[in-house]
Structure 1
Amino acid sequence: MRVHNVKVSHDLQPADLLGIVQAANRYRSSIQFILEESSMVLDAKSMLGMMLRPIRSGTILRIQTRGGDEEEALDEMCRLLEKSLGA
């Protein structure tokens, strides 16, 4: 299992979420985002799951990957979030 925390610098829009979901579905590993303040777990491979709760500026996301390609999946999720977040 791999884990990395990211602080969201702006509200994630549906287009951001769609890009994340599409990328997540290219990996065999499970990919979850855990919202630190509520401990809510979102499935990064599900658009509906990702839209369950708005991801707002200042939110701390814990990205957790588990599986055969977990390291690559985590790297990709971090890259996408940093790109989406303007980092």
Structure 2
Amino acid sequence: MPNNFDSVAFMDTLTEGGFSEKQAKALTSAMIQLMDSHLVTRDYLDLRLAQLKSELIQWITQWTLGAVVVQTGVIAVLFKLMH
């Protein structure tokens, strides 16, 4: 996903508000670094969602197999008691 931050417009807004050009450039650079390091990308979210789906499928599979083992054990005990 492309960065939609317009750094030139941001710097213009700062200079119109009383910042020197040097201050506006420094603040703009800091903002870009902050956004790059803290914003989550769509690619990251897609990857994380795929990981969570995989973990959920593994958990459901393990839980289902565990339930089948318990049910088999209960049936075996009941069968043994009835005969």
Please give the TM-score of this superposition, normalised by the length of structure 2: 0.29
| TM-score normalised according to structure 1 size | 0.28
Which structure shows the bigger proportion of residues in helix conformation? 2
Structure with bigger gyration radius: 2
Choose between structure 1 and 2 for higher RCO, CA contacts under 8 A separated by at least 6 residues. 1
